[in-house]
A and B are shown apart, each in its own frame.
Chain A
Amino acid sequence: MAATAGATRTKVGTWIGFIVILVWCLLPVVWILSLSFKGPGETAAGSPQFLPKDWTLQNYRDILGFGTVTPGQESTHKDFLDALRNSFGIAAIATVLSVIFATLAAYAIARLDFKGKRLVLSLALAIAMFPVVALVGPLFDLWRTLGLFNTWPGLIIPYMSFTLPLAIWTLSAFFREIPWEMEQAAQVDGATSWQAFRKVIVPLAAPGVFTAAILTFFFAWNEFVLAISLTSTTSSRTVPAQLSFFVGPDPFNPPYGLLATASVVVTVPIIIIVLLFQRKIVAGLTSGAVKG
């Protein structure tokens, strides 16, 4: 009897916990979504209720540049779409390069015995903890000398450096779990070493590489300090930086709806990635940190 009461209590507790977690995670997301449907008139007058009084698509028209754009917001969608293009390009290139370099390094760390392995891992750890802001000054100076200021490579290079530690850890943890003797088994069964690598090792390693790529992409998509410090125009400014420049004509009355709409648009790719790959992301986040 007591055992069943305990079990019921645990069950009820888990249900409550489940609902609390959902509300916690989704409330602010639903809030910016709701805000994105409030027109500029409504927010200017003050609209403390959660849902819009009059639902409107005007913010989406202004941000994405279709239909009739609000007068005075003609250039908003151009700046935003430029930033979106920069964000995608920079994050994608940084991800691909970082994952390639990290795969080489992680293979060596997981599979080979070499001098300086500990040093490499300590270096990666130190860089993962590095205060990015401390680099802003010297990088600003250096990039201006080298002509990298306000260019894509100017952001791609530091993004690679700061995502490599995470990618190396995640990948070396994954690689250590791969049963490498299967490669030899395939060769014994008559496969050439290239076939053994392609048919056995690549499919086993691919999920790890993919997970590292997602985590790297998230970092580059989110980065803000370098994005506002090392860019000056929309030719290379990424979305987080561009968002902080959407102030509008009245500093005391920020364009709530426009900012919320832009926020929704840049959150959509994140939600899609999370929906598709939640299991891999969780595995990647935790494998590098807890178990070897």
Chain B
Amino acid sequence: MSTTIATAAAPAGKKRAKMTDRSRAENRLGQRLVLPAVIVMLVVTAWPMIQALYLSLFRYRLTTPDDKEFVGLSNYGTVLTDSLFWQDTLNTVIIMVVTVAVELVIGFAFAMVMHRIVFARGAIRTSILIPYGIITVVSAYAWQFAFSLNNGWVNSWFEWLPWITADTNWFGSHWPAMFAIMVSEIWKTTPFMALLLLAGLSQVSEDMIEAAKVDGATWWQRLWKVIIPNMRAAIMVAVLFRALDAFRIFDNIYVMTRGAQDTESSSFLTYRQVIQQFQLGLGSALSVLLFLTVLLLAWLIVKTFRVDLAQARGEA
């Protein structure tokens, strides 16, 4: 702390030499301060990932460890030619696209309300944080019971809809089960989306909106031509985070269906191979593919929105 004062007070002539010394010291201090965090982050991710890359080249079952044998890329071949892998990837993509799209719309509406509201700001902020903070497993149970055939209220409340009757079995077939899973996911994570969008919304200048209004722009035009283009960075961040989060969906599926009715996600498949079937070789190949897919998705989203994430966060 005192070095700051010392430099500031140093005579102008010596400043140059001092600065290089100082910046070298600053460089060293900065690196030392981030080192513990970097080590902890790498220990749990980089090393196991290298391990996964290595194990994915072996036939390796924990139940028969002596049978470990180098098989090259054949695990990847097995995975990529298996229809279950593609079915699960498709499920995951459907869940991701649908939930993120629905959340974006509902979250935006919520953000607009929260932005405009002048009363009970604390109450609304508190209630919107409850789904955010609640344990995903709890959300999954709450919705599983709500959709339950014998004990749920969904059937009796929505019986007036043509495709719902008193004995609609939501977990008895593929699409209704997927629907229930997505409802739980959307309920739990819309608040996060809404809060990120609210922050973006509050950065759109009121003057600009007012000017558009004076120029005769309708509400719809103001929304699409002024508000949304000015929130692109916030929307990008929200979509990126939520999409990658939704792609990893696991808890809801585990609790609500355990993968029954072909509702498995990629994460669930990987988990099942590794933990329930002890197929470390095959499971590692799945892990590596999952990781590559997430990287690809992140790259695609960043490219689509053409926003430098570091710049959006002011890190440039």
Contact = CB atoms under 8 A, between A and B. Distances in A.
Most A Cβ at <10 Å: residue of B55, B274, B288, B298: B274
Given A137-B55, A137-B280, A164-B37, A274 B126 contact: yes
A139 B48 contact: yes
A164 B41 contact: yes
B2 interface: yes
A131 B129 contact: no
B271 A136 contact: yes
B218 to A, nearest CB: 12
A32 B141 CA distance: 9
A112 B29 contact: yes
A206 B157 CA distance: 47
B156 A48 contact: yes
B133 A273 contact: yes
Nearest to B281: A137
Most B Cβ at <10 Å: residue of A114, A137, A291: A137
B116 A243 contact: no
A115 B284 CA distance: 34
Given A21-B113, A114-B26, A240-B136, A275 B126 contact: yes
B113 A281 contact: no
Given A22-B124, A48-B152, A157-B44, A225 B192 contact: no
Interface residues of B, number: 112
B5 A184 contact: yes
Interface string B88-126: 000000000000000000000110111011001011111
B227 to A, nearest CB: 15
Nearest to A176: B314
Contacts of B133: 218, 270-271, 273-274, 281
Nearest to A277: B129
B282 to A, nearest CB: 10
Interface in B293-315: 294, 298, 309-310, 312-315
A107 B36 CA distance: 13
SS class, residues of chain B in contact with chain A: helix
Contact of A50 (B38, B153, B312): B153
Contact of A14 (B51, B116, B130): B116
Given A22-B124, A263-B142, A101 B274 contact: no
B141 A108 contact: no
Nearest to B280: A137
Nearest to B275: A229
A184 B186 CA distance: 48
A136 B291 CA distance: 12
A26 B187 CA distance: 10
B250 A224 contact: yes
B226 interface: no
B44 A285 contact: no
B63 interface: no
B151 interface: yes
B250 A225 contact: yes
A112 B143 contact: no
B137 interface: yes
Interface of A: 10, 13-14, 17-18, 20-22, 24-26, 28-29, 31-32, 35, 43, 46-50, 101-102, 104-105, 107-109, 112-118, 120-125, 127-142, 157-158, 160-162, 164-165, 168-169, 173, 176, 183-184, 187, 193, 196-197, 218, 221-222, 224-225, 228-229, 239-240, 243-244, 256, 259-260, 263, 266-267, 270-271, 273-275, 278-279, 281-282, 285-292
29 contacts: A21-B110, A21-B114, A24-B190, A28-B139, A29-B134, A49-B153, A107-B33, A114-B29, A114-B30, A120-B38, A127-B45, A129-B244, A135-B45, A137-B274, A137-B280, A158-B44, A160-B44, A164-B41, A183-B1, A240-B135, A240-B136, A243-B137, A263-B135, A270-B133, A270-B134, A275-B126, A279-B122, A289-B238, A290-B200
Top-5 shortest CB links A-B: A292-B314, A114-B30, A17-B113, A138-B48, A286-B199
Given A17-B110, A121-B315, 19 more contacts: A10-B116, A28-B139, A31-B153, A49-B153, A118-B310, A130-B294, A136-B270, A138-B47, A138-B52, A158-B44, A176-B314, A196-B1, A197-B1, A260-B141, A263-B141, A270-B133, A271-B130, A274-B126, A286-B199
